[in-house]
Amino acid sequence: MKGLLPADTYIVINKTILNDYDRKLLITLYQPIIGYQAISFYFTLWSYLDKSELLSCEWTHHHLMTNMGISLSEIEEARSKLEAIGLLKTFLKEEHVNTYLYELYSPLSAKEFLGNPILATSLYTTIGKLEFEKTVEYFKIPKLNLSSYTEITTNFNSVFKAGSNINVNVENVKNKNRLGMNIVPKYEIQTVLEMIPDELLNKRSITKDTKDLIMKLSFIYDFTEEMLVEIIRNSISEKHTIDKDAIRKNSRKFYQFDHYGKLPGLVYRNQPEYLRKPVGDNSLRARAIYFFETTSPYDFLSSKYKDAAPSKSDLSILEYLLIDFNLNPGVVNVLVDYVLKINNNKLIKAFVEPIASQWKKSKIETVEDAMKIAEIEHKKRKVKVEKTGNKKIISKPSWFKENLSSSEASKEEQAEIEELLKEYKEAA
């Protein structure tokens, strides 16, 4: 991704037809997953369209920053979320002043959204079972008993007569356009299907939609090829075809059995806005806090590993902290940073669990509170080591100092925090 500058300009193009019902879909279904800032960015771009809702004037990103009250990095993050979930396409023309084209696309219909296993599961995990059921009920069409009625609808031929035909080029006429999520599978679905005997599964009956569903299920539940083969085998109907409802249910049951009844969550979310430290303080400690608050646990761990993707074991620990202990993303970042520092850069579940349990009991919700309790825990650990006569030196994070300003910090402390921030910038 090219670095975005305030002077860079942009134009908004509407590739679809947008209406008030789309606003309901975006706020009710999309916002819990991608956050209010990304949705606000979408609405802001929408508001810049002309009276025909086709095209905007050219604006600078400085104007966008001022209008929304957010930074360039937050604009890029919001844009990425919209792109990833299929609401926006971005094009770049590199010149002395770069120009961006932002293409807006419609949200999925409620039926399409709730029928998408990735989106439905993400929404369920984010808002919980009760709210999810209320949301589904909100979008349901009420069933009416028409058994005592007779349809008397008039057909077209009874009213109109056919006239002469004309050919109209409708290629560029406005239409309701939607994007799909761009997901790169980690293995070929066709290869998985070939592992199932022909006498058990009729390969010719497998449509593109079925393959797409299998790919999405493998993504959201992170199945291996072997797991997926077993699930597909258990979802084959008497007609030797894949039952879509059965494979959805079997996938969910398989995952929940392996994860103590939990459904998968997203480890890419940031600290909730209302739990963040107010901006204005530019001390080293405040910069470290802001870093923990605005970085997702996945990106943070990736930065600690010098941009290497976290292992499956690491991701399961992050999910364990976020879902089982219900710790906030920023708090998880502090915990992970603390554990890596005192445990020779090793993230081990048995080591993480008691710390997470203590933080949960202490109701730690903010990054600042997480830093404070980490410092208290470290002092207890240090005293214990000294009493046992162990000469082992226990490392501690540089952000332990309560009021860490540039003038108070030693060169080593400054260098360590700068390295912490640098690691993420390089990984990003």
In this predicted model, which residue has the larger pLDDT, 2 or 73?
73
The least confident of 91-105, 116-130, 354-368 is: 116-130
**pLDDT tens digit sequence for 146-183:** 889 998 898 878 887 766 666 767 677 777 787 766 66
First to last CA, the chain: 9
Inter-helix orientation angle 117-127/129-138, to 10°: 120
Question: Which residue(s) pair with 11 in the sheet?
Answer: 101
pLDDT band of 59, cuts 50, 70, 90: very high
Angle, helices 329-342/349-361, rounded to nearest 10 degrees: 130
Predicted confidence (pLDDT) per residue in 268-310, tens digit:
566 766 677 776 666 777 888 888 888 888 788 888 877 666 7
Per the model's pLDDT, the better-predicted residue between 206 and 378 turns out to be 206
Q: CA geometry: angle at 192 spanning 190 and 196, to 5°?
A: 105
Residue 139 tokens, joined: 């979008």
pLDDT confidence of 406, banded at 50, 70, 90? Answer: very low
* pLDDT mean over 60-67: 93
Candidate from 24-33, 219-228, 390-399, 405-414 with smallest mean pLDDT: 405-414
Residue 67 binned pLDDT confidence (cut-offs 50, 70, 90): very high
The pLDDT of residue 401 is above 50: yes
The 10s digit of each residue's pLDDT in 236-248 is: 998 999 998 889 8
Cβ-contact 126, 32 below 8 angstroms? yes
Q: What is the mean pLDDT of the chain?
A: 81
Q: Are 339 and 355 in contact (CB under 8 A)?
A: yes
